[in-house]
Chains A and B, each alone.
Chain A
Amino acid sequence: MRKLLFQSLFRQPFTEQAPSPDEAALSELATAVGRAARRRLGRSLSIREVDAGSCNGCELEIHALNNAYYDVERFGLRFVASPRHADVLMVTGPVTQNMRAALERTYQAVPDPKWVVAIGDCARDGGCFAGSYAVVGGVGAVVPVDLHIPGCPPTPTAMLKGLLALLERVDNGSVTP
């Protein structure tokens, strides 16, 4: 173990340059919410992830955000274990009928101010599962969504861009619930 740790001291880090915030996401956020600013959070957001019925593809890529290449924590973005510790709900999947109540309750458990980020094509409108008897539809059909990050699944870079855009807006106080 010491050898591995020692090598890591001298090797270039895997971590890559931050991507620029996504333009589309910025403009979506700019128009998403128009209510008055109440509080600024500083450059830090705690994220609670909720799988509302995804195929688990999005979860794999959200996990990748934590690896050494993307290292999401360097931006002050942190995944937390409880909705009560969260500023952001990150929701994946078409919302299934069987997850609807759990998603609503998780949303209610997040203290204000809060934001909802819907991850993946299914989270927008149910994607290829839309129309099923077991699917409500996109995340927006159950809780208000502030930002969509499209993809099947979105790449970690795409998610990082979207989250950085959210962070900028929150930082400027221009996105508020």
Chain B
Amino acid sequence: MPSLLDRILEGRQIQQRRPWPRAVVGAHLWKFVANELAQGRLNLLGLWGEPSTVHMAIMEEGTAEIAIVSLDCPDHAYPSVGLHHPPALRLERAANDLFGLSAEGLPDTRPWLDHGNWGMRFPLGDRVSALPQPAPYRFLPVQGDGMHQIAVGPVHAGIIEPGHFRFTASGETVVRLEQRLGYAHKGIEGLMAGADLDRAVQLAGRVSGDSTVAYAYAFSKAAEAALELVVPDRAVWLRALLAELERLANHLGDIGAICNDASFALMHAHCSVLRESVLRAANTAFGHRLMRDVIVPGGVARDLNDEGKATIQATLDNIRLRFPALVELYDNTASLQDRTVDTGVLKPALARQYAAGGYVGRGSGRSFDARRTLAYPPYDGLRFEVPVLNEGDVNARVWIRVREVEQSLSLIDQMLDRLPKGPLRTPAGRQAEVREGMAVVEGFRGDVLVWLRLRDGRIERCHLRDPSWFQWPLLEAAIENNIVADFPLCNKSFNCSYSGQDL
């Protein structure tokens, strides 16, 4: 029996197939896809605009087949997907802010990234001058007795990124949280247009600093797919090694930070030491603590020498020695468990609906992990488990990360053992024709998606979709009926990226 995607794409002209097909569809089929998303038979991977086209990346539930459908909208309007499938809401609001593409029937037409400060509207589409008096942003109304509002941000009390949270509370209990983001919007997709690959991969690596490896990795894979570049084996393995080191560092730091938000500083102190050890090893091995600008289209810019290898190995040995005691400490401290168990519960149905990636999805029963589900090399030849829990609380998200630390340690071992020898980079060359490519890579936070089109060796359009797009809205749901004081704890357990979402 042909799959759902085959039936959708049947008889359509396939524009490009690198590595997944993209087909131009009509409004009727676009709405059919929206309906299939709403029914849960398809997952939404992304939705983005161009001056007069809107694209949607979808994945079939079950088979994990992926495709892109595109709808031409010369009059700058298209049938809203968000109307049927709420995960598309913010993406459609953003597409309107950036391109002036209006989603017909969109239930929420408030601007998302555009705060009225750019001096223009639709910066990536047909630019028009800004509204002389932008309307004040209207938060959703709340009704009821004795409600009060708490406004937080964009400047927070800690060392965190900018964003605004509007809590409505009844006593101590959060009745509604509404997020307002976009403060860190830097116009990266605008800067991408016209950039050559060197500059573009540098920008991609600065979309979200904590995922600099994952972004450079996803961008490079998308560019290589477009150019049909074959990456040398050694580079394929080194990239995955970099990605696992990044995952390890972030998980170690965040496990401690989550405990710190429950006022358990001891875990934080010890986990920070382990995180620092990974960053130092990365610095020795790859010349940069966050491993920035190491992955480039065609391969990697730096090799791993014996000293680097030995340093990484010693760091792993030390983590293996010290981490179990910390896990035991987490597990056996009743006062800490009291804060994390049953707090900030994300229901599995919501995680599935939003196709939430990373520990947010896997803590709530969604097993998707791009390394396993899409099995890109070298992960197709490595042994690892994908931990999944169904509880959906802060505790579940901590445990997913604990297990993933253990899996990353094992993966790095296997990689160091089997690291092939050979060249590091295939030169990109210059292709005059128009080429498209897409890639999905598992970052520490979840799946990072990059889609791009190259013309004459330069970026014509590049879209980078952070996993946070499908996690931020779920935090709003998870915090409901929790006390205000538990928000930092819940927020840290999600640890969504502001910069990655705002772009």
Contact = CB atoms under 8 A, between A and B. Distances in A.
B210 interface: yes
B150 interface: no
Given A133-B190, A152-B292, A99 B183 contact: yes
Contacts of A64: 272, 275-276, 279
Interface residues of B, number: 52
A4 B270 contact: yes
Contact of A55 (B190, B208, B289): B208
A128 interface: yes
A153 B118 contact: no
Size band of the A side of the interface? 35 or more
Contacts of A98: 115, 117, 182-185
A11 B115 CA distance: 52
Q: Which of B117, B120, B123, B157 has the most CB of A within 10 A?
A: B117
A56 B499 contact: yes
Nearest to A105: B155
A33 interface: no
Contacts of A172: none
Contact of B154 (A56, A79, A99, A155): A99
A55 B208 CA distance: 5
A57 B210 contact: yes
Given A4-B270, A96-B184, A131 B191 contact: yes
Nearest to A133: B123
A130 to B, nearest CB: 9
A59 B266 contact: no
B336 to A, nearest CB: 10
Contact of B184 (A53, A66, A68, A79): A53
A79 B183 CA distance: 22
Interface of B: 115, 117-120, 123, 154-155, 157-162, 182-188, 190-191, 199, 202-203, 206-210, 212, 253, 266, 269-270, 272-273, 275-276, 279, 289-290, 292, 325-326, 329, 332-333, 497-499
11 contacts: A1-B332, A58-B209, A59-B159, A64-B279, A67-B276, A68-B273, A68-B276, A98-B115, A132-B190, A133-B118, A153-B209
Question: Which 6 residue pairs of A and B lie closest in terms of their CB atoms, listed nearest first?
Answer: A57-B209, A134-B187, A132-B187, A81-B157, A67-B272, A97-B117
Interface of A: 1, 3-5, 14, 49-64, 66-69, 79, 81-83, 93-94, 96-102, 106, 128-129, 131-135, 152-153, 155
